[in-house]
Structure 1
Amino acid sequence: MSSSTAKFSSVEVEEVLLDTAKLVFHPEMLPEFLMARRFPTPTSKLMGEIASPEVWAKGMSKAYDSSAALSKFLHECIEASRNSLSPEDCHRALSGFRSKGIPIGAEVTEVLTQTLSFLVKNPASVKWLALVMFGLSRAISTTARREFDSHEWTDFSMFILQADRSFCEGDGKVFSRCMTSGMKKHPEMNQNFVRLLAANTPVAIVNMVALNATSPLFHGAAPSKFH
């Protein structure tokens, strides 16, 4: 890894993921997860519960720290997202929110501008991991919903539903094992997810700020400091 993609310490990862969890599982986002709950007769193998922010942060931090394959994948996502981050695209995404009637106040615009400036100037910040984990949550939930609604389930369908569950439960051990085995069985998934996260970086960061512009991710003492 280059200096800008060196692994983060377990302490800073857990701290930043604690703040990230509160956006990933924001009340407005919760209906997007755990597609298996939509079964007429839920199956215990796929059912799950949303972990508390503390449990989720600790579990995902351990997964990042212990799984070389998972951390490598996440840093590939960070690299791709960093290369695709465009302030212009972010502000266009912000305008798109407004065009849909979603209220966006001056505070959100100001925080977004400050956040973009920070990320561009600090390519090695652990804040990039927060952005990628939020984007990954959207990629997993969207893919799980698509597979759940498909007419024919495949091995990949079962994989993504299991990934959805272990991600939501904060079961880092199962999640890292699931992602690692999934990448081996479906090698195209790695690059597909990396490309998807990179392409959606502007929308992800606008979503994060719009959900809670007062999040410690954007304010407060280091390492949760953008200013």
Structure 2
Amino acid sequence: MRDFGMGFAQFLAGQRWVARHRREYGLGLVPALITLVIYGAALVGVITWGGDVTETLTPFADGWPSPWLGLFRGALMVALIALAVLVAALTFTAVTLLIGSPFYDVISERVDRSVSPDGSAPESGLAWWVELWISVRDSARILVRAMLWAVLLFVLGFVPVIGQTVIPVLAVFVTGFFLTQELTSVALQRRGAHLNQQMAMLRSRKTVAWGFGAPLAAAFLIPVVAVFLMPGAVAGATLLSRQLLGEPTRV
């Protein structure tokens, strides 16, 4: 519980940091708003054409008597929307970071400078296009892993009792771990840590990662909330990265 509390404390510290730095907060809202519009349009599409999709996928049920046909396809429609929401929660941060990489790099660097005893911030020393390529490549790898987890959790959601109790909680923690990895990657990449190193670090401190990411994952179930928490999440992830690496931090 101590590690969980430490992770949650860094999440709150990040929100406090952007509250004191309004310019950076506004900067961090831009890519999150763009992603929200994209995901919102996608969700509207799922709701609009979901019925057609379920009919296409279940031709074997065309002859079923009423009300079983309607109940069956209605349940599939609800499941399809739930899957879309889960995928959105798992991938929102990765897509937002990909779109707003330059924005969040600036925020993370300014957090480092503001809390470093000597006012410095680590730099990767790589050209901007190399950093962008690494970010795109790592984001794609994380998105694939997140999608696999989304499908697995979606299937497990149909298991009686467990699917309605244990699986939603598990989904929050899985999403929270991915969120922590994606957010800390902004600061860790500037420190030269590649994806495998980042994952190994967080796996060795899973409780810390859950403490930071699980509350964020729960909040991200409401898309509009995700937008307003993103700048502080990036700031908090930078502070968390410093703590995990044992770097001195000025209060």
TM-score range for the pair, normalised by the shorter chain length = 0.3 to 0.5
> What TM-score, normalized to structure 1?
0.32
Q: Rg: which structure is higher?
A: 2
Q: From the two aligned structures, give the one with the greater helix fraction.
A: 2
